[in-house]
Amino acid sequence: MFTRLLDSARDEAKKEVATPISSSKKNSIDFIAEAHNLSNNLSDEELCELFAEFLFDIFDANCMDEFKQIEALELRQCNLFSSWSKGNEFTLTQGDAHNEFCTLFESLCSEFLLQNNVTQNKLFAAAESALKEDVGKEKMSDNSWDNQSAGDQANEIWDVVRSVQDIEVWAEQMKETYERNNRK
């Protein structure tokens, strides 16, 4: 359902445009949510920013419980990809490991949405709206996080979810993790 809604939002935006389109409980995301009185008062732009930040943090903020859960799963599973090479078929065990990763990712995202009283439909409607509003706007040359538009952040959400779904992307990361942890 999660990715189906993203696909739908992206397809809808493409029709209108020719261009592509439980944590450490008191982190920056919680602060932003509280600062904006999240409940249902966030604008589409704020909601895209909040969720895009969450996605960034679960893969890069090593102090967060969500990051630690993903890291633990990846360290436990990376040995399954030690001899895998791009273009190889995947074993059932590797497929099961990827499914476990996807399930964890979806669980973390669902928990985040529940904690912030946001439904998947509301998130994806916000992303779709941000993509539509971003159409035709002049892009800034400074692409830093602070200068990203809501459309850029909606695209970040889309890219992360699609990458999580892609077993080959994850397999490459698992092979790199295995090699990094087994260097002598």
Burial 60-94 (b: 16+ CB within 10 A, else e): ebeebebbebbeebbeebbebbeebeeeeebeeeb
CB 159 within 8 A of CB 55: no
Give the contacts of 117 (CB within 8 A, at least 6 positions apart). Answer: 38, 39, 40
Indicate the number of domains in the chain: 1
Tens place of pLDDT for every residue, the chain, 184 residues? 555 555 555 455 444 333 333 444 445 455 444 544 444 577 888 899 999 999 999 998 888 899 999 999 999 999 999 999 999 999 999 999 999 999 999 999 999 999 989 999 999 899 898 888 876 555 554 555 456 788 899 999 999 999 999 999 999 999 999 999 988 5
Domain that holds residue 175: 2-16+25-136+143-149+156-181
